[in-house]
Amino acid sequence: MSTPADSPAAETPGHEPDRQGLGVADLPNPGVIASVRRAMSLLPPGQSRLLVAAASVQVSLGLLDLLGIALVGLLAAIAVSSVGVSGIPSQIDSVLSFVGMGGLTITQKTVIVAVVAVTVLVGKTILSALMAGRIFRFLANRQADVSGRLARNFLSRPLMDVQRWTTSEAIYALGGGVGAATVSLLGSAIIIASELFLFLIVGTTLIVVDPTLTLIAIGVFATIVVFLHRVLGNWTERNARIMTDASIDTLTAVSEALSTYRETTVLNRRELYVARYEGLIGRYATASASTAYILEVPKYVLEATLYLTVMLLAVVQFLTKDLGSAAATVALFLAAGSRVVPAMLRLQGAGITIRNASVQAQPTFFMADFLAATAPKAAASPPARDTALQIRERIASGHGDFNASIVVEGATLTYLDARGPALIDASFTAAPGTSVALVGSTGAGKSTLADVILGVLEPEIGSVTISGVTPKQAVALWPGAVSYVPQNVALIQGAVRENVALGLPREAIDDDLVWEALERAHLAEFLRESREGLDTSIGERGIRLSGGQRQRLGIARALYTRPLLLLLDEATSSLDAETEQAIIATLKELEGKVTTVTVAHRLATVRLVDQVLYLQDGRIIARGTFEEVRAGVQDFDRQASLLGL
């Protein structure tokens, strides 16, 4: 769960809370039927109806199987009559006369019926394969839709809601879990419905032909299928839970190993992470192999059962009936078995898959429920999203009527599981073009107030406005007018260009603005002289750059949009003294044009700001110029004195 970002235990570099996660891998499985209903609820109403219609078509193709099986039985009866052992049964002869084949020879009847039977059975197989392909492509597209919708909804939530999930949990719930819920769960449900319908119509037909034999065969196969389902189903459910846990834990282990590479190297603990990773992968591989084996077991059992059942059926039929009727019955049951046993295999496989998927999909269902439960109570209709090219045009043309004023009134916020508020009744105003510094000891509430101003946290009491609207509305109406520089800059894999113009596709990036931002961040000269300019690859998380260069790249990112409101969270903490002074000089150039809010521990960087806010235990206890706050707060004066200010 989240820990207050400004508590002493949590305010680490970057001010990220201790995220233990929600334990979504350990969620109970409510059952297959409930999981299928939950999966259907993820689809838009129109799409769910379309899926039901497609499934109905796939199910109805079982009627062609019934027709093909009947034709095989008819073929056997005609073939036996051709050798003179017995004549064609009167019922069959009536059917042949009804379809216009009464005057044909036995050979002609045999050939025609054989061709039609093969055509029907092969045609049904082809149609089923084509329909299944279309259904699974449809489900794959719905997987993309659902994943995108959940991701958009998740990333639009306040920071506290997002931070309740670990990165690994969120990645799985938005990715692999959605695939399990849509393609695996719903796809298997359609397969099960199709095969059950086939069993129903074939079983009903065979009961009409020979009820005793049919009921015996149904009893034998049903007993075996139920036994396999119960034994193998429990086995695969355990494997599914192991695979789900291992998938999330593996992502966590790799992320931790990469993010702490230097520390684990120095402490000589890399082998511990490798051993942990090997253990997780071993668990996943073993469970995966077991599941693959489970899917093969029913094939061997059902094949053996079919051969034994047909053999016993043939013995009984040829001992108790005339050769023609016996041959027709055996052929009919053999044809039915040739279609039903593969269907049983598909049913058994789908049953195992659906139990597996119902476990793997639980994190996604929990994510959907979480988003529904935490949805804003009265959300206004969001403004239309700008395209990347429209954002480029907005940046190039300025920010229109944006007014870089800040008004915070009585903002109070409490983190989940916190003993008290992290921010209490905070109020201040900043006029356009002025500068504000947020100072105080660790855990005082500085970063919380900064996050409230940015709109990534929403106060429970009070309000925040930027340019007369909420922060979220401001960034939607004037993209790029507000920028932020964190203490620890998160860089993406790629080149300098993509990192400065974060999120924009290549065609929407203005290289002139990128160079302008790099010049202001004092990184342009280095890139021109020592690297490949804007095409310089920085490696994963900026590993090819020094700490100071990564910080300057983050500053360039914030300046790329020519913002009118800039919030800096210890933005110069990783810079050498000379570069820090250069960046401070750049910020001074913005005075009067850009409103700046600085979260500061290094007091030398905020001596000349227009307004200093001193926070203690979540409250603003002093405000004014640097000297005024120094005179009013003894701790602040002592810190300044220690620094020789």
Which residues partner with 599 through β-bridges?
438, 569
Helix, strand or coil, per DSSP, at residue 569: strand
Instruction: Give mean pLDDT, residues 80-95.
Output: 60
Residue 611 is predicted with a pLDDT of 92
Distance CA 144, CA 176 (A): 11
Looking at residues 440-444, what average pLDDT do you find? 83
pLDDT at 407: 94
Q: Record the tokens describing residue 395, joined without a space.
A: 């940046």
- Judge whether residue 61 has pLDDT over 60: yes
Distance of alpha carbon 635 from alpha carbon 641, whole angstroms: 10
What is the predicted pLDDT for the residue at 405? 92
Tokens of 443: 């855990």
The CA distances from residue 643 to 570, 605, 616, in Å, are 17, 12, 20
Task: Give me the mean pLDDT over the 263-287 stretch.
Answer: 75
Residues 6+ apart with CB under 8 A from 343: 195, 198, 199
Q: Which of 155, 181, 196 is nearest to 240 (CA)?
A: 181
Instruction: Reply yes or no on whether the pLDDT at 154 is more than 80.
Output: yes
Check pLDDT > 70 for residue 198: yes
Q: How far apart (Å, rounded) are the C-alpha atoms in residues 371 and 2?
A: 17
pLDDT at 23: 58
Average the pLDDT over 550-568 and give the result. Answer: 87
Q: How far is CA 507 from CA 384, 387, 498, 510, in A?
A: 21, 12, 11, 8
Mean pLDDT for the chain overall: 78
Instruction: In whole angstroms, give the CA distance from residue 210 to residue 313.
Output: 11
What Rg value do the Cα atoms of the chain yield, rounded?
35
pLDDT, greater one: 328 or 291: 291
pLDDT of res. 1: 33
Query: Is pLDDT larger for residue 481 or for residue 231?
Result: 481
Q: What is the mean pLDDT of residues 519-533?
A: 79
Given its phi and psi angles, is residue 510 left (phi above 0), alpha (psi -120 to 50 degrees) or beta?
A: beta
Burial class, 470, CB count within 10 angstroms (exposed 0-12 / middle 13-18 / buried 19+): middle
How large is the average pLDDT for residues 128-144? 87
Q: What is the reported pLDDT for 449?
A: 92
Q: What is the pLDDT of residue 4?
A: 38
Beta bridge partners of 565: 482, 595
User: What CA dihedral angle connects 634, 640, 641 and 642, to 10 degrees?
Assistant: 110
Sheet of strand 482-485: strand arrangement: 482-485, 565-569, 595-599, 435-440, 611-616, 619-624
Strand ranges, E, within 307-416:
406-413
Whether the predicted pLDDT of 188 surpasses 80: yes
Q: Taking a C-beta distance cutoff of 8 angstroms, is the pair 9, 15 a contact?
A: no
Rounded to whole angstroms, the Cα distance separating 603 from 636 reads 9
Q: How far apart are alpha carbons 251 and 177 in whole angstroms?
A: 14
Determine contact, residues 413/457, Cβ cutoff 8 Å. Answer: yes
User: 360-389, pLDDT tens digit by residue?
Assistant: 888 899 989 888 887 766 544 455 566 667
Residue 465 confidence (pLDDT) above 90: yes
Smallest Cα–Cα separation from 222: which of 80, 128, 45, 340?
340
Q: Which two tokens stand for residue 590?
A: 């913005």
User: What is the DSSP pairing of strand 423-430 with strand 406-413?
Assistant: antiparallel
Contact 552, 575 (CB under 8 A): yes
Neighbours of 107 (CB within 10 A): 10
Angle between helices 32-42 and 362-373 (to 10 degrees): 50
Q: Give the start-end residues of each E strand in 467-603.
A: 482-485, 565-569, 595-599
Residue 17 has pLDDT above 60, yes or no: no
Least confident of 4-18, 346-360, 499-513, 518-532: 4-18
489-503, 527-541, 559-573: least confident range: 527-541
Query: Region 281-307: what's the mean pLDDT?
Result: 74
Give the separation between CA 616 and CA 285, rounded to whole angstroms. Answer: 52
Residue 2 has pLDDT above 50, yes or no: no
Spatial distance between the Cα atoms of 354 and 36, rounded to a whole number of angstroms: 9
**Cβ(17)–Cβ(2) under 8 Å?**
yes
Q: How far, CA to CA in Å, does 493 sit from each of 110, 496, 497, 498?
A: 69, 9, 11, 9
- Using DSSP's 3-state secondary structure scheme, residue 441 falls into coil
pLDDT at 19: 43
Nearest one of 250, 249, 238 to 287, comparing CA atoms: 238
Counting beta carbons within 10 angstroms of the beta carbon of residue 525, is it exposed (0 to 12), middle (13 to 18) or buried (19 or more)?
exposed
Angle in degrees, CA 458, 464, 468, rounded to 5: 135
- Non-local CB neighbours of 210 within 8 Å, separated by 6+ positions: 329
Decide if pLDDT at 63 tops 90: no
The dihedrals phi and psi of 85, each to the nearest 5 degrees, come to -70, -40
Q: What is the mean pLDDT of residues 609-631?
A: 90
- Contact between 594 and 563 under an 8 Å Cβ cutoff? The reply is yes
- The average pLDDT across 284-296 equals 75
214: closest CA among 332, 296, 74?
Answer: 332
72 token code pair: 């095989």
d(CA 445, CA 615) in angstroms, rounded, equals 6
Angle 362-373/106-155 helices, nearest 10 degrees? 40
pLDDT at 330: 67
